[in-house]
Amino acid sequence: MRRMKLLLILSGLMWASMSPAQNTGSEGDAAAYQAAMDENSKLQEELQTLTDLKASLSETVKGQEDQLKSLDASMKAEAKSLAKRQGQGSQNLVAELKARQQALQTSIDSYQGKMAELMEQNIKLEQSLASMRQRLENLDRVRDDVDRNFIETHQKSLDQAFSAMKMQELETIQGDCGKYASDGKIQAFAKRLEAVIGMKRAYDNAVKTVGQRYDAAAVERALSALPTSGMSSVQADEVAKVRKQLQTFEPGLIAFKELASALSRRRSTISSQRDLDDELDIIMGKGNLKSRIATQVETVPYLKNKYAEYIKALKAAPSQQPAVEKEIMEQ
């Protein structure tokens, strides 16, 4: 009965192990990938069943071998006893010993037949195990190919300049990562992606902050949120630039106000473009203002735009106060 059960289990597993593997389709297709992973899980269970069955079979074989050894020892003892009795001439006892010897030989033949069957089952089990291990190796290669293809395809999106990134694209990739929830490598990539999205948001906020009216609290928040590591070289350069702009915003505003205030005091003496140019030369020559305008005002987007607007308005109407001057002085 036990041997029949082993044979039935073996037959079922042999049939399963020889079934063709599922077609994984495109390496980057999440549905095909999941199908491969499902088959991997199924094969792992079947492999464990076969392993347990082989262990059980090994115990059975050992038991049969021990029984054969016992029978063989009994056979040898009976043979010695028979030889001894034959010499004493006891015909009845000799006949009995011969009968017992024949029964032992029959038992030995039976056990040897069982051993042959068990060894054949063991060979089939080994073949099934080898087939399953091969299929598992193939599935591992499919998973590795999917990992490599997915990561290589999207890595460039994570390394490009923050200014070139599209948040919608990053969020789409993030959604795709969710389709591989059981894959360690892709989930590690997903964590890296999440970090990049956070850095992208911090960068965008900093760029927005230096492009609008000065707000000391907003500038401080933007500065503290900027990343300091984990970036590609082009990203690090961008962050360094916008950090410098944030740090220069207040000094640039002070320099701009200094220029506007000086011109406001001299406005009554300005009636022409020449007067304006003369006053600008005088004002710019004091307190290193010309250099400060170049390095602090014209390097911050908001201040740069307002400065260009200011100079254009002054040239158009040298004796009038430009509206942008009021905007700057109110900050």
pLDDT, residue 229, reads 96
pLDDT, residue 65, reads 65
pTM of model > 0.75? no
pLDDT tens, the chain, 331 aa long: 444 444 444 444 444 443 444 433 334 456 656 666 565 566 566 656 656 666 666 676 666 666 667 766 766 776 676 666 665 555 665 566 567 667 767 766 776 677 677 677 767 767 776 776 777 677 677 777 778 889 999 999 999 999 999 999 999 999 999 888 888 899 999 999 999 999 999 999 999 999 999 999 999 999 999 999 999 999 999 999 999 999 999 999 999 999 999 999 999 999 999 999 999 999 999 999 999 999 999 999 999 999 999 999 999 999 999 999 999 999 9
pLDDT, residue 253, reads 98
Encoded tokens for 230:
């984990």
pLDDT, residue 58, reads 65
